[in-house]
Amino acid sequence: MQKTITYLEMKSPDQLKPKHHPEHVLEVRVCKHQDYRLNRFFYQWIGSAYRWTDRLPWSDEKWQEMCEQPGVHLAIVYLDHTPIGYAELWEHPQECEIKFFGLADRYIGRGLGGPALTRVIEAAWSLGAHRVFLNTCDWDHPNALKNYLARGFQVYHEETV
C-alpha cells in the first residue's frame, strides 16, 4: 500500500505560529529520566490508530537501547494535569527532530491538536536546536499536515513510497 511522506522544517523559533486553547491549559513536560516502558506505552496508545507498527515487535532490550540513547527525549502532553499525548524529540547536531507526535483518540476533535503541537515545538526549540523538523504521511490523522503547516512548518521534500 502506497503512502506519501511529507518532510517539514522550521528554521527559526520566529516561524512558530502558536495556537492556544481558550478553555484549557496544555503543557508539555520533557522527561528528565528515560524509561522505555513509557515510550512504548505512548507509542502503542497513540499510534494504534495510525498504523504505527514498526516498533511493535521490539524486545524490551531494543526499546531500552533506543530510549536511552543520548539526545532522545520523551515529551508528555498534559491537559489539566492528565496525560493525553506525547512526542519523541530526537536531538541531532544543531537540530531537533519531532520523531512522533500525537494525542489519544478521545482528545482528538476538541481543538487540542494545535495547542499541543505548539507546546511540543516550543519544547523542541528549548533543547537548543537551530532547526526543528519532522515528517508526516497520509496514514496519519487527516488534519496532521494542516496542523504542521498552520504552526509554521515549511515543506522541504515529498515522496511516495
Residues 66-93 pLDDT 10s: 999 999 999 999 999 999 999 999 999 9
- φ and ψ at residue 110, rounded to 5 degrees: -115, 15
Domain ranges of the chain: 18-131
- Contact predicate 129/11, CB 8 Å: no
Alpha carbons 107 and 21: distance in angstroms, whole number: 13
**Amino acid 21: pLDDT:** 85
- φ and ψ at residue 106, rounded to 5 degrees: -70, -10
**Amino acid 41: pLDDT:** 97
Residue 100 CB: number of other CB atoms within 10 A? 22
The per-residue pLDDT for range 54-69, each reduced to its tens digit, is: 999 999 999 999 999 9
Cell 508526516 maps to which residue? Answer: 136
Ranges of the chain with pLDDT below 50: none
**Amino acid 28: pLDDT:** 97
CATH homologous superfamily of 18-131 equals: Gcn5-related N-acetyltransferase (GNAT) (3.40.630.30)
